[in-house]
């Protein structure tokens, strides 16, 4: 479970808090918990499919094998977009946070170049965090989170007009509530859980994987969900709906400044920037290795994408390419647009995993149980509903990416009669 929480980050909802807040008109707690329900069903499906394909561990493999190679390709292509977008939104967020709360005199463009170069340098030099360092980082984040919660409790208890509505409005505020708003907010709040599916790739390193992978994924989603709900609940108690944030990207740090002053705001900023470095550099390397796997299998030009450095074993061409795309994208789209696009691909993958589990265990299974019917089907329906509630601009851009990918895949596979690889190969 600890590995899963570190993968997702215990501070996961803090960087996108402002985007969640605006999209859901408050109600961040409710949207985060709604997204958790979808992810719980998806975690069950991932865990069950990991039993069937213990060495694959990806939505692409499950959909290609259980549904259709063409739909598997669409899932893999969507997954590729996610891997390219994740470092991009990390560059955007880190640059805004550093510009506003660390050294405002340095402009955004310089910070964007700095973070892109930092992520790229770390990957080219094979700078890795050990399990011990990850545990220390998680403990440090825990200290800052606790300090934030304590300061928030003291601040709220000191309000002169304290009433029941102060405590219930983060869940339901009749002045701003609508089902459409809730659906849009939940579709974005899925970002909180991105990364939990990485546990499905650890089957070969896990004792009793048939049981423990599923259990670990479910517990991770529950732990991240409830921890995230507490974190955003505290922030919502402080910041009223209708009051604009100085910057949407750095909203949580602004809340920390209100309840704890400059010291807490600085501690929060540094903690989130540290977490952002781990997320951004890790996402860049994962994207580079996915491109390497596609190049090695000749799904992409092997001469460029299928090469690794003899000295470090890192696909340097791909690391630099992903970094360049992240830098360019950080000037073209906002953090919220990047998050919506990332969820466009993620929700396609999650829906595909749920439907694959439904087909394998219920439609084709020898022992049909109700537990093989309801969880994957409900997970599929909820993920599709969340996908439909994404911003139309994100759906248009994501749909264009998907259409181009399907056209390329149809040509490359001779009408999807062959398969293209979307697996991240192990490090050499």
- Asked whether residue 126 is domain-assigned, the answer is yes
Q: Are 260 and 147 in contact (CB under 8 A)?
A: yes
Q: Using CA atoms, how far apart are residues 272 and 252, in angstroms rounded to an integer?
A: 10
Domain containing 261 — which CATH number?
1.20.1740.10
> DSSP assignment, residue 359?
I
Which residue, 302, 284, 283, is CA-closest to 292? 302
**3-state class of 245 per DSSP?**
coil
- Asked whether residue 14 is domain-assigned, the answer is yes
Q: Using CA atoms, how far apart are residues 152 and 149, in angstroms rounded to an integer?
A: 5
Query: What's the domain range around 61?
Result: 2-412
Q: Using CA atoms, how far apart are residues 401 and 78, in angstroms rounded to an integer?
A: 8
Which residue, 300, 344, 29, is CA-closest to 188? 344
In 157-167, which positions are buried (b, 16+ CB within 10 angstroms) versus exposed (e)?
eeeeeeeeeee
- Asked whether residue 417 is domain-assigned, the answer is no
Please tell me the total count of domains within the chain. 1
- Asked whether residue 129 is domain-assigned, the answer is yes
Collect the ranges in the chain with pLDDT lower than 70: 1-8, 55-57, 127-134, 198-211, 426-428
CA 129 to chain CA mean position, Å: 20
Query: Cβ contacts of residue 316 below 8 Å, gap of 6+?
Result: 124, 307, 308, 309
- Asked whether residue 419 is domain-assigned, the answer is no
Which residue, 270, 268, 242, is CA-closest to 255? 268
| pLDDT tens-digit readout, 153-208 | 999 998 888 888 788 888 988 888 888 889 999 999 999 988 777 666 555 555 65
pTM given for the model: 0.90
- Asked whether residue 426 is domain-assigned, the answer is no
Based on the number of CB atoms within 10 Å of its own CB, is 388 exposed (0-12), middle (13-18) or buried (19 or more)? exposed
pLDDT at 69: 87
| pLDDT tens-digit readout, 390-413 | 999 999 999 999 999 999 988 988
- Asked whether residue 50 is domain-assigned, the answer is yes
Token pair for residue 333?
């789209």
pLDDT at 209: 56
Q: Are 327 and 112 in contact (CB under 8 A)?
A: yes
Please give the angle made by the CA atoms of 348, 349 and 353, to the nearest 5 degrees: 120
pLDDT at 86: 92
- Asked whether residue 183 is domain-assigned, the answer is yes
Q: How many other C-beta atoms can be found within 10 angstroms of the C-beta atom of residue 121? A: 13
Q: Using CA atoms, how far apart are residues 280 and 195, in angstroms rounded to an integer?
A: 12
pLDDT at 394: 92
Q: Using CA atoms, how far apart are residues 234 and 30, in angstroms rounded to an integer?
A: 13
């Amino acid at each position: 479970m600890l590995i899963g929480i570190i993968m997702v980050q215990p501070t996961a909802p803090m960087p996108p808090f402002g985007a969640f807040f605006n999209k859901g008109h408050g109600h961040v707690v409710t949207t985060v918990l709604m997204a958790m329900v979808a992810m719980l069903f998806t975690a069950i499906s991932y865990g069950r499919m990991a039993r069937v394909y213990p060495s694959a561990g990806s939505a692409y493999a499950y959909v290609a094998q259980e549904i259709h190679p063409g739909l598997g390709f669409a899932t893999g292509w969507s997954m590729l977009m996610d891997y390219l977008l994740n470092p991009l939104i990390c560059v955007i967020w880190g640059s805004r946070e550093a510009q506003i709360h660390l050294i405002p005199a340095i402009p955004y463009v310089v910070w964007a170049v700095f973070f892109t170069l930092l992520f790229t340098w770390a990957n080219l030099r094979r700078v890795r965090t050990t399990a011990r360092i990850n545990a220390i980082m998680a403990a440090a984040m825990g200290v800052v989170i606790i300090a934030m919660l304590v300061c928030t409790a003291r601040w709220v208890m000191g309000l002169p007009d304290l009433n029941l509505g102060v405590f219930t409005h983060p869940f339901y505020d009749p002045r701003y509530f609508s089902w459409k708003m809730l659906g849009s907010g939940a579709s974005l709040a899925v970002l909180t859980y991105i990364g939990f599916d990485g546990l499905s790739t650890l089957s070969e390193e896990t004792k009793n994987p048939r049981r423990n992978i599923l259990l670990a994924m479910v517990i991770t989603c529950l732990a991240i969900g409830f921890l995230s709900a507490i974190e955003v609940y505290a922030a919502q108690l402080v910041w009223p709906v209708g009051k604009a944030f100085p910057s949407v990207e750095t909203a949580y740090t602004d809340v920390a400044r209100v309840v704890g002053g400059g010291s807490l705001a600085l501690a929060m900023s540094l903690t989130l920037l540290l977490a952002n470095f781990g997320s951004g550099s890790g996402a860049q390397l994962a994207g580079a290795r996915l491109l390497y796997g596609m190049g090695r299998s000749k799904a992409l030009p092997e001469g460029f994408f299928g090469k690794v450095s003899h000295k470090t074993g890192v696909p340097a061409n791909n690391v630099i390419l992903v970094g360049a795309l992240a830098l360019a994208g950080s000037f073209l789209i906002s953090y919220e647009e990047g998050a919506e696009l990332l969820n466009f691909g993620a929700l396609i993958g999650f829906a595909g995993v749920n439907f694959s589990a439904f087909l394998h265990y219920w439609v084709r299974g020898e022992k049909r149980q109700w537990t093989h019917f309801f969880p994957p089907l409900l997970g599929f329906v909820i993920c599709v509903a969340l996908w439909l509630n994404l911003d139309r601009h994100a759906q248009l851009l994501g749909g264009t990416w998907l259409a181009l990918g399907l056209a390329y895949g149809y040509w490359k596979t001779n009408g999807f009669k062959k398969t293209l690889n979307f697996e991240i190969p192990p490090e050499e």
